[in-house]
Structure 1
Amino acid sequence: MRGMNDPFKLKEIKNFLHLNKVTVCALLETRVRPHNQGKIQKKFGDRWNWICNYSSTNKGSILIGWVKNEDRVRLLLASEQFIIVEVQNTQGECVFHYVVVYGLHIIEDRKSLWVDLGIYVTGIQIRCILMGDYNDVYQAVDKLQGNDITHAETVDFSNFLVDNCLSEAPSSGNFYSWSNKGHGADRISSRIDKAIVNVYWVGVGLSGFLTIWFLDMVKQAWGYIQCNGQMKNLWVKLHKTKEAIKLFHANSYSQAHRKVDNYKRQLERLQNNPDLNHDAALQKSERETLELSRKGSLIVVKVRNAKSKIALLHNSQGEVLTDPRRIGEEIKSFYMKLLGSNTETIEAIDMAMVRKGHMLSQQACNILIQPVTNQEIDATLAAIDDSKAPGLDGFNAVFFKQTWAAIKSEVYSGVLEFFDYNLMYKPVNITAITLIPKVENPTHTNDLLMFARADQGSVVEMSRAFQRFSRASGLEANNDKSCIYFAGINQETANQLAILINMPIGDLPFRYLGVPLAAKKLNFTQCKPLIDRITDRAHG
């Protein structure tokens, strides 16, 4: 919050706090000198109290304020790069710990920040949120344009999060919080302002996914008897964890709809009890609501049951299928065609041609065969987005990140066993394929576009080149979902060229990456879907 000495900026801050009914706040990079702090703080009014880290730095980089009659704040620790306070309610009970961070700009200067915060976070068992300007990123998506992010830039932040079972809290607004104010290709944006929370905050406040009982459940499953083979040992413990979660779910949440119905019946009996004094109009309204809820529950159950079945299907010949066996065979046949076919013979690779191309240097080759380290495993886990779908073990990246302190030694051993001894436990080496059509008619998917002049020589040469690629790679084109498109020639010539390469003629325009491709110049309306996608991605 640069420029707090400016009265207009100060007024803007006061208006924001008032309109959003903020009772606890933190201001960063205030640049208010120690001799001016009292004068600036008084301009917020007598309702506000303030804490600053002037004892550690004269730059006034962090300022924490709170409304006197709404909350209480107790200072726990202050340094040049952070302030830690305990936020209490009006009765003096601790609600959560609040860490405000303003990281220094140089990697070496920030190392003490990660060490000090790590020691603090490890020693507490209460909800804690760490917010502020870290002046650092921990994943590639946190920076847009400019120089590529290096491992040295992210390793300290990533290790801090993984080692202490911390996660980034959801946020709203612009995804990138800083830019160099450039334009076009010269604009560099970064996501250096974040809110980080511990497992106690997650379990009670944000999503309810990870609570203390969950961590205890994982630790108990992880204490299961050791098996032969590190990868098998990891797999068995993950399954023991899953069994414990399923058992907890069965005991706590199974038949929830029956429990709700039971409570409704109990409520109805109480309402119909003549010995109890009830308002007649209120009773009637409650009975009507209960009746509607019953009907709604029945409708939902029927709809869900209907959605889980395929009662009718049209095959490629337009025939209506109702027999479940024939429906299953048609679905299997469709996806087998969609996956394509393999070839029995593969043309040998032309090594002389390969050697003429670019090759790795000896130094690059040595890097590729270096032993895998625990730090690389940590970095790989930190780079996995939390929204990624679960794997075959049923756990997504959030599970591994939040329980890393308890399970990482077994994960290290399992991964290193594979790289060191080439051993892979068979249930792990399974691939699940889920095909989700991205268009209304999934029979046309444009994975490869090839362009040529609309004459016989060009079309034939293009077809031969692709056939050579197919023979060498084993990948063949599926004519059932391939088309050839023409522009600027008559229909007779188009038909002759299509017959020449045995491929159906498609109609222009068609969509590729959401944008229509046509023989004519696209107008604004046709380009708008792509513009919207780019804009949405830029805004996060």
Structure 2
Amino acid sequence: MGDFNAIRGPNEKIGGAVWGDTYCDDLNNCCREANLDDLRYMGNHFTWSNSSVGQKRIACKLDRALVNEGWSDVLPDSYAHFLNPSISDHSPYVVNCGGGEERRKRSRNSIKEVCLDDGTFVSDKGEVKKEFVNYFKKVLNSTNVCNLNVKEIQRLVNFQLESQVKEMMIKEVEEDEIKATIFAMDNNKAPGPDGYGAFFFKAAWEVVGSDVTKAIKHFFSTGRLLKEILANRLKAILPNFIDKAQGAFVGGRNIGENIMLCQELMHNFHKLGKDKKADGDSISLMKNTLSLFHKWSGLKMNCAKSNMYLSGVSQEEKKQFSAIINMELGELPFKYLGVPITSSKLKCGECKILIQKIVGRITSWRSKALSYAGRLILIRAVLFSIQIYWSSIFILPSSIHKEIDGILRNFLWSGASMEGKKAKVAWEEATWKLKDNLEPKNDDEVVYASKGITPPTLGSSTTNIPLR
């Protein structure tokens, strides 16, 4: 516990000059070698500030409580509480060790306290529960209902369902539709209350098919719709009226498109000149548009969690525009859907978040007791997926790829300690030969596979599966 005078990532500092990678690497390497990690905490995220406001404010998380795996096993409910600064410019904090064996059995994901509208905190369990109930009563029982202008909405929303599509959505469910829906289900889908899964109904359809069809038709006639049938009907028309800006949760669209669109909007943002200069009128128009959206939809933007990014204007104009929309000014890069957004090519320092995420997953307690086979599965199924997600959006620097390869290579052969033991096979030549894409069952099979040799237990029929 104490003031380490260093941060572990870019999200632990706002304002002021950008700190170099060494400010993060030294502390992160020390924690990794000592098998330490931050104790979960509540209260202030930034534990030190220069006591300034506005653009001159600088805040960092310099104070922390570090614990090892043994502490987490013995005191799983412990947490640190960072309080508001008083005499010192650092936040004082206390460590709560939990409430004994009974509390150890409870979920660790619990809310310890809530902040009220007047800035005060409530930590009593009964009061916390009461505040949650009162808040949602206030939201859900609101009488502030907007009288929508239907003609105005129709002008903005051009899409309308055709008559034949409307008839298709409300028509009586047919036997062929019921059968097609059930046979499209995965055989391993979790069974219902009766204990029978989709595979049973498929295999015994000649016997139970008529009864199942009658039951489902009865559900539709009583208003209890089978969600899969309704989903299939909606699936055919959803892409037609969901805006193309919605990139996720629609077939054929990728959430990565939203990230690339945001990155494209911010491209060369720092070089914008007078031809694309913001003014008070445009800021006021944006504010009015957001207010109108809130009036129509009931959805209100949280200005406390939002930032405004301006370029090509003076500091005085930035302050003026920020006051108009009541939103703090932000600085690049910022995080969007888990990745950093910048106005130029991604730099090595901005990829440290990726490195920290991979190392954090490796050093978690779940991976410390894994065998070769377990570590191999974790690398292939989880760690490479994290890297691939970033690579599908950005062109990562080659040094980042090499650093990740080194981390994963050391993890495979040395475990969570990543001591860099001698590898049993070159990383570049690591190709796994597995029968019918089966995963290796033990350490011996991993060593066989890494050397390109078919283990006796896997038989003679093999398939080459590259590690990446």
| Band of TM-score, shorter chain | 0.3 to 0.5
Structure of larger gyration radius: 1
What TM-score do you get using the length of structure 1 for normalisation?
0.30
What TM-score do you get using the length of structure 2 for normalisation?
0.34
Higher relative contact order (CA 8 A, sep 6+): 1
